Amino acid sequence: MLELLMDFGVKFYVCHAFMPGFGVTDENMIEGFEKKSSSYLGELLLQGYVPLTLNL
């Protein structure tokens, strides 16, 4: 499934501010992820994008 997501160019945006609090590093992340600021993610929400929430 991951190969299919990469073929379609799916991106996983992760807020950089929350990564240290959960002990997440770049090495732990899924292929295709991009570390972004919370303001960038907020702009996506204002544009109507719907986030996928994961419980860690």
DSSP string, the chain: -HHHHHHTT--EEEETTTTGGGT--GGGSPTTEEEE-HHHHHHHHHTT--PPP---
- DSSP lists the bridge partners of residue 46 as none
pLDDT of residue 54: 62
30 contact partners, CB below 8 Å, separation of at least 6 = 2, 12
Q: Give residue 51's identity as a one-letter amino acid code.
A: P
Tens of pLDDT along 1-36? 778 878 888 888 888 898 898 898 999 888 888 999
pLDDT of residue 32: 81
